[in-house]
Amino acid sequence: MWKIVAAVAVCALMVRSQPADPAYAPLEKAYDALRKRNYDAAIDNFERAIAAAPKRAAIRKDLAYTLLKIGENEAARDQFREAMQLDGTDFHAALEYGFLCYETKQRAEARRVFDRVRKTGDAQSRATAEAAFQNIDAALAEGIARWSKAVELAPDNFSAHEELARLAEERDELALAAEHYEKAWRIRPGERSLLLDLGRVWKALGRAEDANAALLAASRGAQPRVAERAKELSPPRYPYLYEFQKALDLDPDNIELRRELAYLLLAMDRKADAEAQFAILVERSPEDLLSAAQLGFLLLARNDREKAMPYLNRVLQGGDEELADRVRAALKMPRALRERTETPKDRAGAEARQMADKSLEKGYLKDALKYLTIAHEADPVDFNVMLKLGWTYNILKQDDEAVKWFNLARKSSDPLVASEAEKAYKNLHSGLAPLRTTAWVFPFFSTRWHDLFTYGQVKTELRLGKLPLRPYISTRFIGDTRGTVNPRVVEAPQYLSESSFIVGAGVATANWRGAMAWFEAGEQMRYREQKGVTGRMLPDYRGGLAFTRGIGRLLTPESQGWFAETSDDAIFVSRFQNDFILYSQNRTGYTLAGRMQFLWNWNVTADVKRQYWANYVEYGPGVRFRFAALPPGVLFSVSALRGNYLIEEGNPRGPVFYDLRVGFWYAFTH
């Protein structure tokens, strides 16, 4: 008897130790609602149960059957699909899904499902699937044969090619479908929905370049529904130049597509190619005043006024007063003093600009991007909108897009817009260019050592697309004028710098929130003899981590207020007995009028080998300033510092030192 009691107790304990079923409560409510035929409550609770246990196919099947009871066949179909995907051996769910696909006009998917089940299911499922498959397949085969005969008899029959293509696609005869979609498109090139069909089939066939070209053409100048669907199927990036060209080969009369290509060529500074595209636009669409104006501007820019004037006169007489005013400004003509009638397109653009400004003020960047895009479509030569698009993409960390808009905006006739866009373009373009060269030099005089020190580097790095690693080559200079100091308490000279050029090659990570890692191998070439070191050339290996961050009102134009900065480095240097040295330089203070900073220095240096010269703290006041007449990369600094050594062992000097440092920093990027 006691054994039975013990077994029951163990079972009870095991049951209690099992984790609670998170879907139990909503399922209990769902089945209770089903018994009461309260289908809405049952559906709601089944959905809660799915959220709690998303991997359980049985719950999705029960939800699907409940949805069928209220006539929601499409929703039920989707739940059977999920159940089938969760449990590949549930052939009953697969059959239900197949039949619902057929009922909801998805014959191709139904055929594929029945084909799979008839080959892999159990005996009963195979029989059911075989019959269903043959019913669908036989009808498709018969239709393909009939329409194939029709296109033989009437090769220019648009409807016959289109119907044959659709039946072939449903039967997974994709090559045949692509052939006749393309023939239907050639017969009736105004039906851009066919480009969507063609792109979809080419994509399924693995013809990615052809598919992208067809989808690009379908996404421009087509009905909104077709355009949106084409964008969904397209790669999640801006199209490449060659894709525009292939798309125009397929759809040469697509005005919007050709206009976008023309502006892309302008952004790439390929003015001759852009001019050729605008000339085609004006020829094929004489009412396109915007293209006429842009073609005139391009001809005017290369001093061909005779050819430009017919296009510019067309704009002046065309009724678009805003565009005409821009032509007058380009021709330095007086603006017509008459009130312009606002068109619906103008109103839409103005409303979009207002909504974009409000979104930017509130920080809704994605909404702002949407409204700015609408505003640009309403007025593609509004350079202020282009500038805002550049800044918005820049804030969203999409610099590849931002630099394109800044490049367009810097062509503005408004000097303020052009100047701002020019600065932004140069700043971004240097970071996005495949090759980037940076150079900096920092000479300063130290009263502690009565010596002039100079540090500098020239580095050229290669940007490998979006890869986070960037190989580079560099030349560093580290030197001073005195060379050595001979303290009385030691016999060996103390060298104040490495007195070397260091040529090396390395790799660095991309900057991420102010942090980066790097490593290089090179050769140190000393220009001054050093006692105890033989040879003028030594192998040199360096690397480490760097972090820089500033907050508050930094030293930028028209900036005023409090600020804080930190610059931290952890560096391995083989030259110093494979030492690992940590530097942390920190500044807090006040920026005055964007030209001067009053600050307090907080510096710490330490190393792993605990050498006295590499372990100290410094602190004291300072000032940094720049002059408007000098390049923005020039920065002067003066600091009065008190220092304390953290390690006294081996230190030939006292624990405290004082230093006045005066120097300047100059850097530029190309």
Contact (CB, 8 A) for 292 and 311 = yes
List beta partners, residue 604.
584, 617
User: Is the model more confident about 72 or about 294?
Assistant: 72
Q: Is residue 497 located within the same domain as residue 644?
A: yes
Judge whether 382 lies within some domain: yes
Our count of domains for the chain comes to: 2
Residue 581 lies in a domain: yes
In a domain, 78, yes or no: no
Backbone phi, psi, residue 584, to 5°: -135, 110
In terms of pLDDT, which residue wins out, 338 or 145? Answer: 145
398 with 476, same domain: the answer is no
pLDDT above 50: residue 15: no
One-letter amino acid for residue 201 of the chain = V
Task: Read off the pLDDT of residues 494-508 as tens digits, 9 standing for 90 and up.
Answer: 667 788 899 999 999
Q: How many Cβ atoms from other residues are within 10 Å of residue 648's Cβ?
A: 11
Same domain, 523 and 651: yes
In a domain, 31, yes or no: no
Structure confidence by residue, pLDDT tens digits, 36-85: 888 888 898 889 889 888 888 898 889 989 988 888 888 889 999 998 98
Give which of 163, 114, 155, 103 is closest to 137, Cα–Cα: 114
Among 9-13, 94-98, 339-343, 583-587, top mean pLDDT goes to: 583-587
Helices (H), 332-364: 344-362
pLDDT for 546 beyond 90: yes
**pLDDT, tens only, 122-140:** 888 889 988 988 888 888 8
Q: Where does the pLDDT of residue 486 fall: very low under 50, low under 70, confident under 90, or very high at 90 and above?
A: low
Q: Please state, as a whole number, how many other Cβ atoms lie within 10 Å of the Cβ of residue 204.
A: 14
Q: Specify whether 369 is located in the same domain as 508.
A: no
Q: What is the predicted pLDDT for the residue at 341?
A: 44
pLDDT in tens, 144-193: 899 888 888 888 888 888 888 888 888 888 899 889 888 888 888 888 88
Q: Which of 410, 432, 454 is the last residue of a domain?
A: 432
Residue 467 belongs to a domain: yes
Residues 6+ apart with CB under 8 A from 350: none
Tokens of 182: 């393309």
- Per DSSP, 614 falls in state G
Given a cut of 50, whether residue 14 has pLDDT beyond it is no
Same domain for 489 and 577? Answer: yes
Per DSSP, helices labelled H in 234-341 are: 241-250, 255-267, 271-284, 289-301, 305-316, 321-331
d(CA 279, CA 301): 15
Cα-Cα-Cα-Cα dihedral of 518, 519, 523, 529, to 10°?
70
Domain boundary among 403, 432, 461: 432
pLDDT at 490: 43
pLDDT in tens, 365-410: 777 888 888 888 777 778 888 888 888 888 777 877 888 888 888 8
What confidence tier does 347 reach under pLDDT thresholds 50, 70, 90? low
- Give the C-alpha separation, 150 to 139, whole Å: 17
Cβ proximity of 547 and 568 under 8 Å:
yes
541 and 485: one domain? yes
> Are 480 and 396 within one domain?
no
Tell me if 7 is assigned to some domain: no
Instruction: Please check the confidence at residue 361 and state whether its pLDDT lies above 80.
Output: no
Cβ partners under 8 Å of residue 152, min gap 6: none
Dihedral over Cα of 375, 377, 380, 385: its sign? positive
- Give the whole-angstrom CA distance, residue 598 versus residue 638: 10
In one-letter notation, the amino acid at residue 495 is Y
What's the CA angle centered on 121, arms 120 and 124, to 5 degrees?
Answer: 145
Shared domain for 496 and 622, answered yes or no, is: yes
How far apart CA 469 and CA 102 sit, in angstroms, is 51
Question: Which pLDDT score, from 0 to 100, does residue 171 have?
Answer: 86
Q: Tell whether 105 is covered by a domain.
A: no
Residue 401's CATH number? 1.25.40.10
Residue pLDDT, tens place only, 187-236: 888 888 888 888 888 988 888 888 888 888 888 876 777 888 888 888 88
CA 167 to chain centre: 40
Q: Let me know if residue 495 belongs to a domain.
A: yes
- The winner for highest mean pLDDT among 328-337, 557-566, 570-579, 639-648 is 639-648
Residue 557 burial (CB count, 10 A): 10
The CATH number covering residue 627 comes to 2.40.128
Best CA proximity match to 78, nearest among 69, 68, 88:
68
List the one residue out of 644, 637, 654 whose CA is nearest residue 587: 637
One domain for residues 541 and 565: yes
**Tokens 């984790």 — which residue?**
19
pLDDT tens, 409-434?
888 877 788 888 888 887 776 666 67
405 & 472 share domain:
no
CB 514, CB 547: distance < 8 Å: yes
Q: Same structural domain for residues 457 and 584?
A: yes
Task: Determine the structural domain holding residue 625 and report its residue range.
Answer: 435-669
List helix spans (H) across 363-462.
365-378, 383-395, 399-409, 415-432
Residue where a domain terminates, one of 411, 432, 453: 432
Per-chain mean pLDDT for the chain: 83
Mean pLDDT of 8-17: 46
241 CB-near residues (< 8 Å, 6+ apart): 261, 264, 265, 268
Q: Say yes or no: 425 and 443 in one domain.
A: no
Structure tokens at 273: 């190619």
Once rounded to an integer, what is the mean pLDDT over residues 263-276? 82
Structure tokens at 124: 């009963």
